[in-house]
Structure 1
Amino acid sequence: MDGQEIIDLYAAGETKFSGVNLSGANLYAADLIGIILNGADLHGATLIFAYLSRANLKKVNFVGTKLGGANLNQAWLTGANFHNADLHGASLQGADLRNADLTLANLLDANLMLADLRGADLSGANLTGACLRGANLREEKRIYLANLRGAILHKADLQGSDFQGADLAKVNLSGANLREVNFRGADLREANLSGADLKGAFLTEANLVGTNLQGANLAKVKLERARAIEADLSGVNLHSAVMPDVNFNKANLSGANLCFTRMNRADLSRANLSRANLSEAELVEAYLARTNLSEAILSNANLIRAEMSGANLVGAYLRGATLPDGKIGT
């Protein structure tokens, strides 16, 4: 069946085309709203600017398909294969993409607001400038586990999205809008989040080992029990962050804003906190062995029962701080 034939049949009222072979078909700007094409073969087809909203496209083969600017809003795309497909500027708002294969897909500037991406494989995909506000990529009992390893999400808008338990290792999220995003238990090892806005994000128990967060906005984030060993947090804004039991071992926090943070029992051993602002910070029972606190501001910080053996306090400002032995710094 060729492209014109299916367009004519659809115009005549036929909507059911399950399993048809449309590989290489030209469906440029075709109006196919609500069409049923589940299991169809559309690999290498041209669907640029096509209208496929609310279409049934479950398990469709879109490998190498051109879908730039296409409207796939609220479409059923579970199990669809978009490997190496071009979805530049496509709209997939509210689409069901559970278990879809989007590896190496081009989703530049795509609209994925409120899309269900649980279990989707986005490894190596280009999501630069894409909007994923309210999208769902969370893991649920390992039935659905989103994979975004190596994906490019530079300057993407993901505000309020759910990435709980997602695999985001080595993902490029630099400059992205990640406000109030749920990263609980997510794997962000060696990811690039430099300059990203994570204000109010949830990173509880997240894996941030070796992650680049340089210059990021982490104000009011939740980082309880997160692992950020050897992470680069230089110049970050962590004002009022909640971080009990966080592991910052060997992390770079030089010049960071840590005012009013709660870091009780945090592991900051061998971390670089030179020139960091820790005024009013809660560091009760924190582990600061061999930590570099040179020229750091610790005014009114609470360091009661903190372990500070071997810490470098050269030039540190401790006025009003409660020291490990209960004495007040002058």
Structure 2
Amino acid sequence: MEAQELIERYEAGETKFTGVSLSGANLFGADLIGIVLKGADLHDAILVFAFLSRANLQKANLIGTKLSGANLNQAALNGATLKGADLHGATLQGADLRGANITLVNLLDANLMDADLRGTNLSSANLTGACLRGANLREERRIYMANLRGATLHKVDLRGADLTGADLSKVNLSGANLRETNLRYADLRGADLSAANLSNAFLTEANLMGANLLEAVMTNVRLERANLNEAQLTGVNLQGSVMPEVKLNKAQLSQANLSMSRMNRVDFSRANLRDANLRDSDLIDAYFARANLTNANLTNANLTRAELSSANLTGVNLKGATMPDESIHD
């Protein structure tokens, strides 16, 4: 079908164009609100600045389609293939993208607020500067599992998004807004979270092994049973965080702020805590085997039953701390 025929029939009141072929069609700026293009072939079509809000594009072929600046708010794109498409600056607020293939897609500065991205394949997509506030990327019984492996999410806004169980291994999330984001059970191994804002985020049982969290803001974060082995946390602010039974083996925590945090049964073995602030923290049953605590501040910390026998305690401030034998240090 030619682009002009589609526009004329749509303007005449026809809205259902299921399975039509519009490959390479030029629909620049077209007003196609609510159109049904289910299963349509739109590969390499030009839909720049098109109005496609509430359009039905389920299982459509949008490979290489140009959709920059397009309005796809509340559109149904579940099961669609958008591999290599250009959605730079597009708005997809509240769009249904469940099970869509968005590999290698350009979503630079796109608006994906409240979008449903469960089961979406976003591997190697460019989401730099995109807004995903309130988006749903959670894994549910492995039926819907978002794949963001290798995606670029530099400075992305994911505040309040649901990323439960998402695969974010080796993803670039540097400078991202992850405040109040749900990252429970997420795979963040080797991810770049440098300078990211994770305050009030939920990271219960998340895997952050080898992740880069340099200069990240992590105040009041929940990290119960998370794996942070060999993670880079130099200078990180974790003040007031809840992180019992966290694994921090060989982690870099020099100059980190861990004051007023709940860290009972945490594994700090071989961790570098030089100049770290652990003031007023709960460290009951914490394990500091061969940890470096040189010049660390443990004022008023609770170290009941903590293992400190092989730790480097040179220059440590233990004033008012409850020691492993429950005595109070002078």
Band the TM-score falls in, shorter-chain normalisation: over 0.9
Deviations 1:24-65 (CA, angstroms, capped at 9, x unpaired): 000000000000000001010100000000000000111111
What is the rounded CA distance, in whole Å, between the counterparts of 1:9 and 1:316 in structure 2?
78
Matched, 1:264 2:264: yes
Q: Please state how far the C-alpha of 1:4 moved relative to its aligned partner.
A: 1.4
SS of equivalent to 1:92 = coil
Q: Please state how far the C-alpha of 1:309 moved relative to its aligned partner.
A: 2.4
Question: Which residue in 2 is equivalent to 1:189?
Answer: 189
Matched, 1:146 2:146: yes
What is the rounded CA distance, in whole Å, between the counterparts of 2:31 and 2:235 in structure 1?
51
Structure 1: unaligned runs, 5 residues or longer: none
Q: How many residue pairs are counted as aligned between the two chains? A: 330
Deviations 1:252-287 (CA, angstroms, capped at 9, x unpaired): 011100010000001010001101100001000011
Q: Which amino acid aligns with 2:146?
A: A
Question: Which residue in 2 is equivalent to 1:98?
Answer: 98
What is the rounded CA distance, in whole Å, between the counterparts of 2:272 and 2:4 in structure 1?
65
What is the rounded CA distance, in whole Å, between the counterparts of 1:7 and 1:174 in structure 2?
43
Q: Which amino acid aligns with 2:67?
A: L
What is the rounded CA distance, in whole Å, between the counterparts of 1:309 and 1:70 in structure 2?
63
Question: Which residue in 2 is equivalent to 1:249?
Answer: 249
Question: Which residue in 2 is equivalent to 1:236?
Answer: 236
What is the rounded CA distance, in whole Å, between the counterparts of 1:98 and 1:161 in structure 2?
15
What is the rounded CA distance, in whole Å, between the counterparts of 1:176 and 1:329 in structure 2?
41
What is the rounded CA distance, in whole Å, between the counterparts of 1:129 and 1:309 in structure 2?
48
What is the rounded CA distance, in whole Å, between the counterparts of 2:62 and 2:256 in structure 1?
46
TM superposition score normalised by structure 2: 0.99
Q: Please state how far the C-alpha of 1:89 moved relative to its aligned partner.
A: 0.2
What is the rounded CA distance, in whole Å, between the counterparts of 1:329 and 1:196 in structure 2?
37
Q: Which amino acid aligns with 1:192?
A: D
What is the rounded CA distance, in whole Å, between the counterparts of 2:4 and 2:286 in structure 1?
69
Question: Which residue in 2 is equivalent to 1:169?
Answer: 169
Runs of 4+ with deviation above 4 angstroms: none
Question: Which residue in 1 is equivalent to 2:159?
Answer: 159
What is the rounded CA distance, in whole Å, between the counterparts of 2:161 and 2:184 in structure 1?
12
What is the rounded CA distance, in whole Å, between the counterparts of 1:252 and 1:7 in structure 2?
60
Question: Which residue in 2 is equivalent to 1:65?
Answer: 65
Matched, 1:31 2:64: no
Matched, 1:43 2:46: no
Q: Please state how far the C-alpha of 1:8 moved relative to its aligned partner.
A: 1.1
Question: Which residue in 1 is equivalent to 2:22?
Answer: 22
TM superposition score normalised by structure 1: 0.99
Q: Which amino acid aligns with 2:152?
A: I
Q: Which amino acid aligns with 1:194?
A: S
Question: Which residue in 1 is equivalent to 2:221?
Answer: 221
Q: Please state how far the C-alpha of 1:325 moved relative to its aligned partner.
A: 1.4
Deviations 1:77-96 (CA, angstroms, capped at 9, x unpaired): 00011101100000000000
Q: Which amino acid aligns with 2:99?
A: N
Q: Please state how far the C-alpha of 1:329 moved relative to its aligned partner.
A: 1.9
Deviations 1:96-130 (CA, angstroms, capped at 9, x unpaired): 00000000100000000000000000010000000
Q: Which amino acid aligns with 1:149?
A: R
Matched, 1:79 2:79: yes
- Taking only the aligned residue pairs, the percentage that are identical comes to 68
What is the rounded CA distance, in whole Å, between the counterparts of 1:309 and 1:206 in structure 2?
30
Matched, 1:117 2:137: no
Cα RMSD after superposing both structures = 0.6
